Each structure stands twice: as structure tokens, then as C-alpha cells.
Structure 1
Amino acid sequence: MEQAISFERIPTRIFDDSEQASKAVAHEIAALIREKNKEGKPTILGLATGSSPKKVYQELIRMHKEEGLSFKNVITFNLDEYHPMEPDSIQSYVRFMREQLFDHIDIPVTNYHIPDGTLTIEKIPEFCRDYEAKIEKLGGFDFYLLGIGRNGHIGFNEPGSVINSKTRLMTLDITTKIDAAIDFGGLEKVPKRAITLGIDKIMQAKRIVLLAWGEHKAQSVAKAVEGPITSDIPATYLQQHPNTLFILDETAASLLTRIKTPWLVDSVTWDRNMIKKAVTHLSLHLGKPVLKLTSKDYNEHGMSDLLSLYGQAYDINIEVFNYLQHSITGWPGGKPNADDTHRPERAFPAKKKVIIFSPHPDDDIISMGGTFQRLHDQGHDVHVVYQTSGNIAVADDEALRFAEFVVDFNEKFESSNAKANKIYKEAVKFLKNKKDSELDIPAVREIKGLIRQGEAKNTCRFVGIKKENAHFLHMPFYETGTIRKKPIGEADIQLIMDIIEEVQPHQIYAAGDLADPHGTHKVCLDAIFEAIQRLKHREYMKNCWVWLYKGAWAEWDIDQIEMAVPMSPDQVFKKRMGIFKHQSQKDGVVFQGEDSREFWQRAEERNRGTAQIYNALGLAEYEAMEAFVRWKF
């Protein structure tokens, strides 16, 4: 619900998820197009690329095909393009816009404009002047659709850009290049520059809508919406625009004051979750254990109404301390023959059937390796389900080394498997001559997938999981050979349903890490949720609990955690050894993201950080902890 919040300097609307939000934006654009068509005037749109507007474009395509929405009188100008960049390159924004929108609607080719990444540097200034002149001649933008970078950029107007900046060639900020490395297959392959529409022209648009999805955008969104106007965060300039709206999903909005500390904004309902959220925040903010908080602390930090409900701080403190204490367990599968009234998991059945869903072949050990090991050691029947091949995250030189070994082995021992040897020879030839813009051929993807699969099997052996309890789904949505995946389909969902039906689990663990910059975790989780919804009427599902873990990118907020599994120093070390089984993901991962640490380092520091927060709140001190949130379907 859109509302005026004193902390927010830009109107902001929060949706449950990006799909609902995208449809709302698409419908606003469609209404504008229809209105302008009635007036006999063209609609002038500014468009963005990247993952944020994809679902908006999908909905516009649907409305064109099913509702007759015409784009014949629409003229578009895109924000930016890398330089240098060929229009048919995989990473080209020309190709992106054609594949995501233009090739599926009736817009004339002459009506869409995208900066030309093939120009020589000498010709770019003239092109930029002409680009702006075309926009001015048409009367400016009726509507501009924007995204936001993690460093607060809009377009490629990087930190330091001034509000009256013109369309120009821009040197990319390191954060932008790190994010783009996902698409280019490595930081060193990302262009150093890009042509971008200037902030001046963006600010002249009659209407601006900015989209942001996911936890990794939360910090830049909060700074843009609630922070001071500064060139360090170019999106803050939008505070001065008279008709801008930020459209966010819940995770992108998570650091806004009304979400993070809503009791400071308005009256709240003091249920268990809100009390836990507020008290843990107060404790950590003041650097005082929960049991040491005073009535004065509550009164001075916007929580006097909570205090009035209880009468004294002591009663609130004890209640929240118990909430936290009851989330800690060394028995993630439930403790046999124990009173489970205040335990996060059930005691019965003593031996549970467990499915651990792992989006990539290493998320199981990275995200919940200690819990994974403990579930096995405590006698539960643990199945690990690897949802995708993870092949795009294998470096070319790693695949080449593997392929050359097989070719040499076959030739040395005169292997009779001619078909297999042919595949590996094709891969060797391709990899030795591969261009940066080329997609991997099927033979290379097969080899890279086998590398990841072998590593996953090695991890299962290390933990003690039976060979037949490791399942590899190879979900079709993932197998495109690029970062850009296909939409989730029936085949993906059916694979999940089949394995759940086969195992009939008492526990399901799934990756709830929506900060994953590749987006794979989100798709994998959506498939699991949909499969469970379809199966929830089954008798065995009535006894199934679903626990969500986070991955290498983030951790649950302390107030959200419903099960925390402590780890000893030995268990932390053993988890590290399990992560080391994934050799292709060590020492320079293809898609490292902004974090230069290896995955084992990220996992250990995150797990230690969780334990340190529990300790700071006044709970027992552990070496590390893995955290989970229960999803009730």
C-alpha cells in the first residue's frame, strides 16, 4: 500500500514479489500507450535493460498477443550500451531488447533507439548530441523505466555524476563491472566503458518508475529513498523529480525504516515476531544483552507502547530471551525421546527421511554443511537433490584440463568408446579457440556439468551419504548455456514433484537465499514451492516440515531465525574440508560477485557472525551456527 512516510523522500510502493509488481508497471505503461493512441500521439518511452524489467516486458508481450495492445505508435530510447559492443553479441543491449521485447511486438524497427556500441570514440560525442536532439524533438519522455545499481547508479551514470550530466561515454565503476562479470564470464572481460543517457534527460521525463528486486539492492534503495541527495548515489537525484515512484519487492525494501524498524514510523501490532524483531534490534543497537535492557532503553527508543503492554522491561526481556534460546538445537532432525515442546523440530519420528535441495552442486555443503553432516550422523535417511548442473560456473581452463585428460587417457589405453572420445575432442578444439562472445557448445556444457556432478558426489562420500541418495535433476530451465535462463516450466516442477513423491520426506531443506546474484536460487525455490503446493494434499506431506537456509551471499536476520544449529571448531573445519571437494569452485570462481573471498571463507565468517550475534544478545557462546527459517505451506 502506497503511503506517505516521513523517512521516505521518494514515493515508494512495496509488493509481495516482483511478478505482481512487474504486472502493475506493465499495466501503467499499457494504459499510457492506449491513452496516447486515442489522442493520435506517439508514446515516448525510456527503457532499461538487466534482470529488473524482464517481467514487465513479458507482461507487455502478453498484452500485445492476447489483448491487442499495439506498439506501432510507440517510440523508445534505451538508457545505455557497453562500449565497444557488437549488436549481435550475447551481452549486447541491442540483442537483449530484441529478445526480451522488440521481436515479440509490432513496434517498427525505426521506432526503437539504442546507443551504438560499435562507434569509434571520436564519433561518440556527435552521436550523443544527436540522441538527445531526437528525444527533444519528440517532446521528451512520457515515461521512463529505470533500474538501480548496487552503487546507486541509474543507467551507467556512475557515482560522481552530476544532476545536469548529458549523454556521454562513461568509465564504469568497479562495482558495476563486478556485477557485469556474471554476464561476461569474468571481470577481465567486462568493457571498461559504456554510453549512457545523462541524468539531465532522465530528470526531464514526465513520469519515472524505478524497479528494484532482491536483497542485493536493499542498501542502494534505502540510500536513494531515505538518504541525502548526493552525487555518490546518483539515484538520490530522483528525490527532486515531481513524479517518480519506486516499485520494490519485499526483499529490496527490507532496509527501509518502515520495514526494518516499523515501530519508529507508526503504531504496530506487537505480536511475537514484531516483539522479537524490535527487542533484538534494540539489544544490538545499544550493545547490551537482552536481559540487561531497561525500561529507560525502551522508552528512549520508540518502544514505550510495548513497555506499557508488559509493565516492565524484565518481562519482555525474559520472553524474548526464551524465544532465542528455544531456537538453538544440536538436533536438527529432532531429539529422540525428548520433550519437544520448546524445540524447533519434532522428536517423532526419531529417524526422519530428509531431502536437502541444493540449487547448485555445492550449495548443500556451503550453506548447511554442519547440519547436513549432523543429520547423517544422527541416523536420518538423508537425500541430496542437486537441482541444476551448475555447468556455467566452471572455468574454461578447468574444462579443458578435464577434456584433455580424457582424450589422452583414451588414446594411451586405446579406449573403444569412440563416441565419448569424439565429444571430448570437440570440446578441446572449441575451448582452445573460444571467443569471449561465444556460447559453450553442448559437448563443453556436458563436460562442465560432469565436473560439478563429480564434485557433488565426492562431497556426499565425504559426509557419508549413500550413492543412491544423491540425485541430479538437471532442471531444464537452467540449460541455456548462458546466465539468462528460461522461465520455469512444467518439466522443472514435475522433476521436483517426482523426487518428493519418491522419498516422501519428513523434512525438506531448500535454499531461501534470494540475494543470489545469478537468480538461480529464486527459480529453484519457486519450483519447490509450486511442487509442494501441488502435493500438500498427500498424506505424507501432512508430516513434512520445510526449512529454508541461506547461501553464500547472505544470512537470515536474527529475529527471523527459527532454528540455529551450533557448530564446534572441529565441525567448522570438517565443513571446510567438504567445501574443498568442489575444486572447480576454488581459487578464482567464474562468477565470484562483489565478494573476493572464497566460498569456504564466506560460509565460515557468516556462520561465526551468527554465533557472535547470539552471544551479543546474551546467549551461550558457540564457535559458529547455521540458521534456518521454517516455511509453513
Structure 2
Amino acid sequence: MVQSSTLDYPYDEESRKFEKINTKIFESSEEASLLVANEIAELIRSRQADGKNVVLGLATGSTPTKVYDYLVQFHKKDGLSFKNVITFNLDEYYPMEPDSIHSYVRFMNEHLFDHIDIKRKNIHIPDGTLDKEDVRDFCEAYEEKINKAGGIDIQVLGIGRTGHIGFNEPGSSLKSKTRLVRLDRVTRLDAASDFFGLENVPSKAITMGVGTIMAAKKIILMAWGEGKSKIIQQSVEGEIKESVPATFLQHHENCDFILDTAAASSLTRVQTPWLVSECDWNDKLIKRATLWLSEKLDKAILKLTNEHYNEYGMGNLIAEVGSAEHINLKVFNQLQRTITGWPGGKPNTDDSQRPERNTPYPKRTLIFSPHPDDDVISMGGTLLRLVDQGHQVHVAYQTSGNIAVFDDEVIRFLDFATDLQQEDQELEQKLLDVREFLKTKTPGQIDTPEIQNIKGLIRKGEALAACRYCGVDEKNAHFLNLPFYETGAVRKKPHSREDVKITYDLLNSIKPHQIFAAGDLSDPHGTHRVCLQIIYEALEQLVADGAEWLDDCYVWLYRGAWQEWDIADMEMSVPIGPMDMERKKNAIFKHQSQKDAAMFPGNDEREFWQRAEQRNMETAHKYNNLGMAEYEAMEGFVRYHFK
């Protein structure tokens, strides 16, 4: 059986003194999912040997999908049978038809049930088609079926941004049972992109209650990504309260939280380990601790004293290093050296204390943009600086971004084209066909290939307009249209060798001295994560093939569309003045189909230019508070070492 292992975070009792639930932290969600899948498979096999059934409580959403992938793999490759398995799903939207693309019935069939030998009579999912007057009786019967099956052996959970488990929203009671509930606005907002608009998200759902979940013999809650880190910290370390339903799990005697490093990043033993036990100090941890202390006390780095360090659990650091003054000066210099107005390196100067090399000049710079606007949103100021300073800038748009274009944009562009070519009957017929399709299109319905192509062309035209505005030569704009993305639906295909080959070929043709890629992994549907993984795999292949040009190539990761790097992690910070901030916003405005209202805004309702401006200004403000020079705004980068 495939093995997985937890990371080397402190696991002694002292270091976990703030945690009220057992937590296990993994390098990646894949490793964590493998652990959960193995535990489920082992129980199934054990019960089969005893001639007994297994009762599983199952969740939907993006969190458990890899677990289901592994279970399907165990069935097909290892012969794991599911004939003795009985399942009860947590919830279902109401009302909801089972064949809808948003239905959890369809989700479970596509991800698990259609690929294993489970008996259909053993599958139970709340019924979203019931008349309202029949829901109460159904819920009572659902509880009876769980009890008759012997209770749930393993309950799999995800967690919502409000701390909901299942659809038990804030305010749910500890003893609540399966019932019809009204969904919290935050929950509906988080689901809006899946439904192509908040107005299409059902306002109600049928869900198992907190009491139903708590009755399970074993509970496994999984969480991935930084977007879940704050609510995980509250759930694991906070007080039990109805406003965060996941905190009720602290009452359970056999509950594990299975986390990736990003979801665990706000736990005390991960974020501030010096508060729970003595640390083995290294330069990176010293920097993080000093910056944390500076922000905590609202004092510039150079104003921290021995007493401040002692008061916040860092007395052994003072003992090891010698004095606060020594530590402060070291960290201050480290931070100051991350700041540069020359992201391509400053020619004819000493670069020993700068984040980028001064040679060669000019550099070939390749910026990867997962969607057609991530480049200007996340690093528009740096892009402009690179062009202004004479570097040869290429931009590679990894996906078409076609699903993020509103339908009326298609009609607007075709109207324009028809008026421009009034004699073109074929174009006029195309417009009629498009209008007819869009008139009857249901939320989430996949567009025809022709409409997908038009939407892709709209975004391509906007990206080219932004390139022209920034001074990037149009021939240096590369539209990769990676195949994994081109499904016409929110759910994408797994990336393939073809995606990697397209990226490999572009890299090998440009042979850049600098690569910028999106390290912003909290976008709602994981496109950034997949795009970055494809780049990593292409680089690994190039290294294996002995590409000599990689010996003189730096890879920088940017963020900004969905989150920002922590100051302690930033290795290059590029100041942006007021004029360049205006130029950056103007470049973002070229993406008109995303202006005013984006198709997939995530959990932040502001426009992307507003988010970028606020995050860039906040970064500059943090640097200033730490004792650095005062700038209007800053974009931060982390270097990725691929060799």
C-alpha cells in the first residue's frame, strides 16, 4: 500500500498545548488524502474479513476529491471491494435535481460511485427533489436509516469559511439532527462561482445535524490551502461556540484534523513556535520571529529590546545570539536588502546585497499568467518597471480564461462584428445561433465550442491591449491555451503531458534569464495551483535534459489576486510609486470583461484592481512600520529554487 508521512512539526505535548483537537500536518493535500484513503480502505478490509459492513459518512466539494480518487484506484488496481460499504452523504442543496451539474448526487457518482462496486441500495444522499412538506419526514427517516445501519464508522468532513461542517451554519446547536436549513450569505458567496452567479445559488439545503455528525465513531476533517487557515486555527485552538460550529468537534473523543501546510499555517506551533516551546533557531525563523514581535508591539525593528524578546518566549534566542540589538540589526539589514527598484537587476553596480543579478543586461524575462489578467493584477508594477528598464519581456498566458466571460459580452462583440460586416450572412447567422443558445442557457451549462472560442478571443484581445499599454511587444505575448483548462466548465481536467510539453517548448525557445510565475494558490478553482505545477514539471524535465541555460535563470513567484506573501517570506520587494500604481490600474482596466463584476470573484466582492491596490499599499505600510522607508505601494516575490 502507498505510504504517506507527516511533516516534522513539533508533536510533543508542550508544543501542542493550544490545540484541543488532534491535528496532522502534511506537505501536500495529495499526501494527506492518501492517509485518509488508506485509513478508510483498511477499515473496509478489516470488516470484510469479519463479515461485517462499514458505514461511511461522506462529504462533497473540492476537499475530498483526491480521497475518492485514491479509493477508486485501490478498487481498480488493488481489488478493494465496496460491497460491504454503506454510505450516507452529509448534505444536498434544496431544491436540486439529481442530474443537475450542481447536484451532490451527480458529484458522488462522477467522483466515486460510478467507478466502484458499491451496491446502489447502500447509497444514501439527501433528496433535493422533495416537496417541502415531505422534507421533515425524510430527515427523520434518514436518521433512522443511519441508526439501523449501526451508526457511522468514519465521518469525512470539510470545513467552510464560516466554520460550518456539512451545512450546519453558525448558530447550529450541538444536538441538531438532519434538517432543512437556510444557507449563510458567506456560504452562498463562496459557492457563487460554481453556480455562475450568487443569484443562482440555492438559499437552502438539507444537511446532517451537528448531533448526527458527533455520533460518528470516528471523524476526519480535512482542509487545504491558506484560505482555510484562520478558521482551522479558531476551530482547533479557540473556544467552543455556536458561531463556529466546527469547534463542537473539540467534544469528540476520536476526531482528527488532516491538514496541508497551508491550512495549518495559522496554528500556534506553526506560525509562532516560540510561544509553545524552545526553538532551534535558524536565520529564517529568527527573521520571522523578529518581524512578528515588531508587528505585535507596533514598534520598528530597531526599537525592540531584550525585555520584549523575553516577554514573548524568545529568551533562549537572546541567550544564543547575545543581544536584541544584534538580532535587530541583522534582521533589519535582511529586510532592507529585499527592496529593489530594479527587478531585473541594476547594471554596473555591486549586486552582492541585491535580490537579482546585475548581469546579463538586458535580460529575457518570461512572465507566466494563469489567466489573461493575472500578470497585471499581481505584478503589473514590476512588469512596467522591467519594460521601462529595457528588458525583453515576454508574457505567457497559460489558459484562455474563457469561462470567466459573461454571456452578454459575446453578443456585444458579435453585434459589433455584424454591424462592421453587414453583408456577411454567415456572420449574421452565427449571431442568431449564439443568441438562441444563450437565450435558453441554464446556469452552469457548458457553452458551445464556438462560444467558448469567442470568449477566449475576447480575453485574448484584452490581454493584447494590456501588453500594448505596458510596452510589451505583441509578438512576445504567448497564448498557450493549455488543454487541461479547455472544458468549458468550472471543473477542469487533470493536467497532462501535453500541458507540460507546451510549457517546456516555450521555455526552451525563449531561454529566459528570469521567470515570474503565480504562487497565489488560493484561487477558488485551483487553476493557479495547476498552472504552477505544470511549470515545475517542465523545469524538472529541462533539468533532466541538461538545459544549460537554466544555470543562469532565477524563478520568482508572485501573489496578489487572492492573497499576499507574508513579509517574512518575501525575498524581493519592488516599490511602486503613485504614477506607476495608476499605470498598473490602467493596465488592469484593459481587461474590460472583468471590470465592475468578475464572473468568479471568490470570497472577496471587490474588483481585482481594488484588491491589488489595497494589498500593494498594505505591504508598503508594513515595511514602513518595521522601520523601512515609506513607499506608496510594493509588490513582493519569493524565489523558487528548482535545482
Within-5 A mapping of 1:445-484: 445-484=452-491
Counterpart for residue 601 of structure 1 = 610
Note the C-alpha offset of 1:421. 5.4
Q: Does 2:529 correspond to 1:518? A: no
Note the C-alpha offset of 1:425. 3.6
Counterpart for residue 498 of structure 1 = 505
Counterpart for residue 580 of structure 1 = 589
Q: Letter of the aligned partner of 1:599 in structure 2?
A: F
Question: 2:114, 2:126 → 1: CA distance?
Answer: 18
Counterpart for residue 305 of structure 1 = 316
Counterpart for residue 270 of structure 2 = 259
Note the C-alpha offset of 1:109. 1.5
Note the C-alpha offset of 1:443. 1.6
Q: Indicate which of 232, 238, 249 corresponds to 2:243.
A: 232
Residues 423-455 of structure 1 show CA distances to partners (whole Å, capped at 9, x for unaligned) of 444322211221225222212211111111110
Note the C-alpha offset of 1:406. 2.4
Within-5 A mapping of 1:46-445: 46-410=57-421, 412=422, 414-415=423-424, 418=426, 422-445=429-452
Residues 483-526 of structure 1 show CA distances to partners (whole Å, capped at 9, x for unaligned) of 11111111111111111011001110000001111211001011
The two structures, once aligned, show a CA RMSD in angstroms of 1.1
SS in 1 for 2:186: helix
Q: Does 2:591 correspond to 1:563? A: no
Structure 1 unpaired stretches of 5+: none
Q: Letter of the aligned partner of 1:485 in structure 2?
A: K
Normalising by structure 1, what TM-score? 0.98
Counterpart contact for 2:302–2:325, Cα < 8 Å: yes
Residues 437/602 of structure 1: CA separation in 2 closer, same or farther (3 Å cut): closer
Question: 1:437, 1:263 → 2: CA distance?
Answer: 48
Q: Does 2:33 correspond to 1:22? A: yes
Counterpart contact for 1:423–1:443, Cα < 8 Å: no
Counterpart contact for 1:403–1:425, Cα < 8 Å: no
Question: 2:560, 2:293 → 1: CA distance?
Answer: 27
Question: Which is worse superposed, 320-329 or 428-437?
Answer: 428-437
Counterpart contact for 2:23–2:257, Cα < 8 Å: yes
Note the C-alpha offset of 1:530. 0.9
Question: 1:213, 1:245 → 2: CA distance?
Answer: 14
SS in 2 for 1:50: coil
Q: Indicate which of 549, 554, 564 corresponds to 1:545.
A: 554
SS in 1 for 2:192: helix
Question: Which is worse superposed, 488-497 or 421-430?
Answer: 421-430
Note the C-alpha offset of 1:551. 2.9
Question: 1:423, 1:348 → 2: CA distance?
Answer: 53
Question: 1:148, 1:407 → 2: CA distance?
Answer: 49
Counterpart for residue 42 of structure 1 = 53
Note the C-alpha offset of 1:400. 2.2
SS in 2 for 1:184: coil
Counterpart for residue 3 of structure 2 = none
Counterpart contact for 1:354–1:382, Cα < 8 Å: yes
SS in 1 for 2:202: coil
Counterpart contact for 1:403–1:428, Cα < 8 Å: no
Residues 75/627 of structure 1: CA separation in 2 closer, same or farther (3 Å cut): same
Question: 2:428, 2:525 → 1: CA distance?
Answer: 33
Question: 1:408, 1:578 → 2: CA distance?
Answer: 28
Q: Kindly, what percent of the aligned residue pairs are identical? A: 58
Question: 1:41, 1:407 → 2: CA distance?
Answer: 68
Counterpart contact for 2:94–2:204, Cα < 8 Å: yes
Counterpart for residue 540 of structure 2 = 533
SS in 1 for 2:337: helix
Report the count of equivalent residues: 629
Q: Indicate which of 42, 65, 76 corresponds to 1:31.
A: 42
Note the C-alpha offset of 1:549. 0.3
Question: 1:627, 1:32 → 2: CA distance?
Answer: 47
Note the C-alpha offset of 1:422. 4.8
Question: 2:414, 2:63 → 1: CA distance?
Answer: 37
SS in 2 for 1:129: helix
SS in 1 for 2:144: helix
Question: 1:546, 1:283 → 2: CA distance?
Answer: 30
Question: Which is worse superposed, 490-499 or 321-330?
Answer: 490-499
Counterpart contact for 1:13–1:247, Cα < 8 Å: yes
Counterpart contact for 1:89–1:437, Cα < 8 Å: no
Question: 1:106, 1:426 → 2: CA distance?
Answer: 43
Residues 328-378 of structure 1 show CA distances to partners (whole Å, capped at 9, x for unaligned) of 000000000110111000111121111100000000000000000111111
Question: 1:438, 1:195 → 2: CA distance?
Answer: 24
Counterpart contact for 2:194–2:444, Cα < 8 Å: no
Q: Does 2:629 correspond to 1:592? A: no
Counterpart contact for 1:610–1:624, Cα < 8 Å: yes
Question: 1:314, 1:437 → 2: CA distance?
Answer: 59
SS in 2 for 1:183: coil
Structure 2 unpaired stretches of 5+: 1-5
Counterpart contact for 1:79–1:155, Cα < 8 Å: yes
Counterpart contact for 2:164–2:245, Cα < 8 Å: yes
Counterpart contact for 1:288–1:617, Cα < 8 Å: yes
